[in-house]
């Protein structure tokens, strides 16, 4: 896994910008969306970047997902004009969630033992649509305990649900199983632009970097690399 000196410098600048923003009260709720009002997600201005970062970190931690070492950001990415969109990547080793999803007689734990679920949560992204390019975010990983490594494309939650259903689930029950996992994840992480991918990292200490592009209401946004260290027991 190679990250250029220029990428490291840009990432450090983005992280410093996020962490130096003053703490302010949360922004007021946006006006209700009506039939005549386009659905645009709220954007994070310079004054509430730190609040946005803390909100996403708290969301990850509440789910048992470990945030990466520092945040990332995309410049000139706001849906309604120039602006910074902050984001946080995270990971959680299996088995996860700790409580199996409610489908009697079946183990629907989304992430199995020896797997790692990598996630990417931006703040202020518009909801995905059929026209959204959802294949731009990547995770590069290395398990320094067993020597395994690789890269994987992160996708929207809806696209990876089928792959997270255990193969032993009967064909007749797969739609119900997929709906259970999808509803759980979407209820737990109701944020536009969320990306995730489960990876067979094996057990050990895993180093990972998440980076790439994500669309925000038709605007292509590049998110600088952010790195994390995950212990997969």
Q: What's the pLDDT score for residue 43?
A: 44
Consecutive H or E run containing 214: strand 204-216
DSSP 100-140: PPS-TT----SB-TT-EEEEEEESSPPPP-TT-----EEEE
Q: What's the pLDDT score for residue 101?
A: 53
Order of strands, sheet of 149-153, starting from the edge strand that comes earlier in the sequence: 149-153, 137-143, 204-216, 219-232
Separation between Cα atoms, residue 33 and residue 40, nearest integer Å? 9
> With contact defined as beta carbons under 8 Å apart, do 86 and 73 qualify?
yes
Q: What's the pLDDT score for residue 66?
A: 92
Question: Which pLDDT tens digits describe the chain residue by residue (233 residues)?
Answer: 444 433 333 333 333 333 333 333 333 343 443 334 334 444 444 456 677 777 778 878 877 889 999 999 999 888 776 788 889 999 999 988 765 555 566 666 778 899 999 999 888 888 888 888 888 999 999 999 999 999 999 988 776 676 667 677 778 877 887 777 777 666 666 567 889 999 999 999 999 999 999 988 888 899 999 999 999 99
The CA-based dihedral angle spanning residues 34, 36, 38, 42, taken in that order and rounded to the nearest 10 degrees: -40
């Amino acid at each position: 896994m190679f990250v250029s000196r220029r990428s490291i410098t840009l990432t450090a600048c983005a992280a410093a910008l996020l962490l130096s923003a003053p703490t302010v009260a949360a922004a007021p709720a946006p006006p209700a969306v009506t039939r005549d009002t386009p659905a645009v997600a709220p954007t994070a201005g310079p004054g509430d970047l730190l609040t946005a970062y803390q909100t996403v970190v708290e969301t990850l931690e509440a789910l048992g997902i470990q945030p990466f070492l520092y945040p990332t950001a995309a410049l000139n990415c706001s849906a309604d004009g120039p602006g910074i969109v902050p984001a946080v990547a995270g990971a959680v080793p299996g088995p996860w969630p700790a409580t199996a999803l409610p489908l009697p007689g079946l183990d629907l734990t989304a992430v199995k033992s020896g797997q790692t679920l990598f996630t990417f949560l931006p703040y202020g992204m518009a909801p995905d649509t059929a026209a959204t390019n959802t294949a731009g975010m990547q995770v590069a990983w290395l398990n320094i305990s067993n020597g395994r490594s690789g890269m994987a494309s992160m996708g929207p939650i809806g696209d990876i649900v089928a792959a997270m259903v255990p193969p032993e689930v009967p064909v007749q029950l797969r739609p119900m199983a997929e709906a259970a996992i999808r509803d759980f994840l979407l209820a737990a992480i109701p944020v536009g632009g969320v990306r995730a991918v489960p990876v067979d990292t094996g057990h050990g200490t895993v180093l990972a970097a998440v980076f790439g592009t994500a669309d925000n209401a038709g605007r292509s946004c590049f998110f600088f690399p952010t790195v994390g260290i995950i212990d997969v027991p």
